[in-house]
Amino acid sequence: MSKLSQYTSWLGACLLIYLLFNFNWMIGQDVHFSQYNGSVFNLNPSLTGLFDGDYRLNTIYRRQWASVPVPYSSFSFSGDTRFKLKKMKSDCIGAGLIFNNDVSGTTHYNTNQIYASASYIHPLNSDSNLLWTNGLMIGISNVGFNYNKMTFDEQYQNNSYNASNNTGENFQKTNSTFLDFHAGSLIQYQIKPRGIIQYGLSFHHVTNPKLSFQNNLNIKIDPKLHNYLHFSYPLSERLDGIAELLFAYQGKYKEFNPGIQLKYWLNMKDNQSTSIGIYGRAKDAVIIRLGYQIKTLTTGVSYDINTSPFIAATSRRGGIEFYLIYIFKKLVPFMPKKRICPIYM
């Protein structure tokens, strides 16, 4: 084992211990998607570069609560790759970039984020079917709102609204920019060609960044902890079963997302398959997922059926979401085992 892999393994072990022992206090909402496998950077930075190919592009879009006056929307775009340094034998380094945009509410409360992500992928055995990867993500986040879209009680006088009336409010600024930092660790075991298990922990907003529009240093973004488990296994020659679980904490909020999918292989030679699944977000929504894959292209669509008390406004209509992942693979040139003699005419 090289000194670099020894160091990253030690760092990953420390990270896991830190996350586990600080689990109780990392108990606020953040940008999130129902198809968390369709936005892996937001799930865990250690998934950077963990794919079969050379380059990966990923985009996902969500539109939520279209039945309320002002819908919420989220968008993310990312790209990553994997490479080896000269002194590496089987270890790899992943690197990528991600951009997130989230807009919500009448005031167009918006979040724009751009992060750089890196990971170290280390096989734990000679067959490379057991991997341990550790990742870090650092970037800039900007949060703001449109003051002109806001209304206040003081603007309502004599049973009528007048935008020119004094609001009685004093915002020192309408946007805030801060440095943000995430870390994660994940173990993956390849049971067989179509059988895999993953478990990952990720810690978001490590530095507990300050977010205030009135320069109040006591207002901070709560740290967020993600526990992620994925298991897939062939049930028959053409059918796979998939089970996933996401358990997240942020401030006083908790999110529990279990789900199952069935994946049917249409053409294994072309890596063509379709899938259907049902997921849940406890006390909030039932999620229906559909997926399609061909060669290195994977797409998915989901719809949330709202089950929370907010159904009075939504009539159970939640959010629709689309994602697309495309992996670029370099063609390996054909190299004949025996030298072929030229033929002259």
Residue-wise pLDDT tens digits, 239-266: 999 999 999 988 888 889 999 999 999 9
Measure the CA–CA gap between 295 and 285, rounded to whole angstroms.
Answer: 32
Which two tokens mark 258?
A: 């279990």
Question: Predicted confidence band at 315 (pLDDT cuts at 50, 70, 90)?
Answer: low
Residue 344 belongs to some domain of the structure? no
CA-based nearest residue to 318, from 101, 71, 106, 100: 71
Distances (CA, A) of 71 to 108, 174, 211: 10, 21, 24
Asked whether residue 28 carries a pLDDT value surpassing 50, the answer given is no
Cβ atoms of residues 248 and 231 within 8 Å: no
The 10s digit of each residue's pLDDT in 179-217 is: 999 999 999 999 998 999 999 999 999 988 988 777 777
Measure the CA–CA gap between 112 and 86, rounded to whole angstroms.
Answer: 37
Place of tokens 């963990």: 50
Domain tally, the chain: 1
Asked whether residue 310 carries a pLDDT value surpassing 60, the answer given is no
Residue 242 belongs to some domain of the structure? yes
Residue 141 belongs to some domain of the structure? yes
Query: Residue 61 CA to chain centroid, in angstroms?
Result: 12
Residue 335 belongs to some domain of the structure? no
Q: Which domain covers residue 302, as residue numbers? A: 3-328
Written as one letter, the residue type at 183 is A
The 10s digit of each residue's pLDDT in 268-281 is: 999 999 999 999 98
Residue 342 belongs to some domain of the structure? no
Residue 173 is predicted with a pLDDT of: 79
Would you give the end-to-end CA distance of the chain in angstroms? 55
Written as one letter, the residue type at 297 is L
Adjacent-strand bridge partners of 141: 113, 178
Q: What is the 3-state secondary structure (H, E, C) of the chain?
A: CCHHHHHHHHHHHHHHHHHHHCCCCCCCCCCCCCCHHHCHHHHCHHHCCCCCCCEEEEEEEEEECCCCCCCEEEEEEEEEEEECCCCCCCCEEEEEEEEEEEEECCCCEEEEEEEEEEEEEEECCCCCCEEEEEEEEEEEEEEECCHHHCCCHHHEECCEECCCCCCCCCCCCCEEEEEEEEEEEEEEEEEECCEEEEEEEEEECCCCCECCCCCCCCCECCCEEEEEEEEEEECCCCEEEEEEEEEEEECCEEEEEEEEEEEEEEECCCCEEEEEEEEEECCCEEEEEEEEEECCEEEEEEEEEECCCCHHHHCCEEEEEEEEEEEECCCCCCCCCCCCCCCCC
- Burial (CB count within 10 angstroms: exposed 0-12, middle 13-18, buried 19+), residue 171: exposed
Asked whether residue 312 carries a pLDDT value surpassing 50, the answer given is no
Cβ atoms of residues 144 and 175 within 8 Å: yes
Measure the CA–CA gap between 143 and 111, rounded to whole angstroms.
Answer: 5
Domain harbouring 238, CATH code: 2.40.160.40
Residue 216 belongs to some domain of the structure? yes
Q: How confident is the prediction for the chain on average, in pLDDT? A: 83
Residue 177 belongs to some domain of the structure? yes
Asked whether residue 314 carries a pLDDT value surpassing 60, the answer given is no
Pairing, β 297-306 against β 317-328? antiparallel
Asked whether residue 170 carries a pLDDT value surpassing 90, the answer given is no
Residue 185 belongs to some domain of the structure? yes
Cβ atoms of residues 240 and 232 within 8 Å: yes
Phi, psi dihedral angles at 313 (to 5 degrees):
-100, -30
